[in-house]
Amino acid sequence: MNNHSARLLSAYILLAVAASSPSIQALSKKESEEAGALLFREKGCSYCHGPAGQGTEKAPSLANVGKTRKPAEIANQIQNGGKTMPAFKTALTPDELSNVIAYLRAKHRPVPPPPPVYAPLSNPGQ
């Protein structure tokens, strides 16, 4: 087999694999809101804004942010930060950012599951 034939065969195999792979489906609105709730906790938003975004001494309430700000404004604030809020531009993928915005704009915000509790490691030497 010559080099050209080998490249064609490789391209054909890649196309066949790609065609047989399951397509990535977009999350439903509810799934996006739930993913955003989990990200809100996991990315540290709740540390300053409180577990449900109710606000703390460190950061304001986000209870009405979905009513008072457009999605682009929320995205800008999250990505670029402001005043005392750090920028999260590099901490979130575009899909994650969309999910956090969906969570913040949700009429009935989902509650994320509790964080995992890890059992202490046993010490086999004792």
On whether residue 21 sits in a domain, the answer given is no
On whether residue 38 sits in a domain, the answer given is yes
On whether residue 23 sits in a domain, the answer given is no
**Which of 1-10, 80-89, 96-105 shows the lowest per-residue confidence on average (mean pLDDT)?**
1-10
In which domain, by residue range, is 34 found?
29-105
DSSP 109: P
Residue 88 has pLDDT above 90, yes or no: yes
Residue 6 has pLDDT above 80, yes or no: no
On whether residue 94 sits in a domain, the answer given is yes
On whether residue 112 sits in a domain, the answer given is no
Residue 126 has pLDDT above 70, yes or no: no
DSSP 125: T
On whether residue 42 sits in a domain, the answer given is yes
Instruction: Please give the sequence-ordered ranges of beta strands (E in DSSP) within the chain, or none if there are none.
Output: none
Helix or strand or coil: residue 106?
coil
Residue 36 has pLDDT above 80, yes or no: yes
> What is the distance between the alpha carbons of residues 103 and 43, in angstroms, rounded to a whole number?
13
Q: pLDDT tens digits, residue range 38-83? A: 999 999 999 999 999 999 999 999 999 999 999 999 999 999 998 8
Angle (nearest 5°) at CA 59 between 55 and 60: 55
Identify the CATH number of the domain in which residue 37 sits. 1.10.760.10
pLDDT, mean of residues 80-90: 94
Angle (nearest 5°) at CA 81 between 42 and 106: 55
Question: Residue 66: which residues within 8 A CB-CB, separation 6 or more?
Answer: 74, 104, 105, 106, 107
pLDDT, mean of residues 13-26: 48
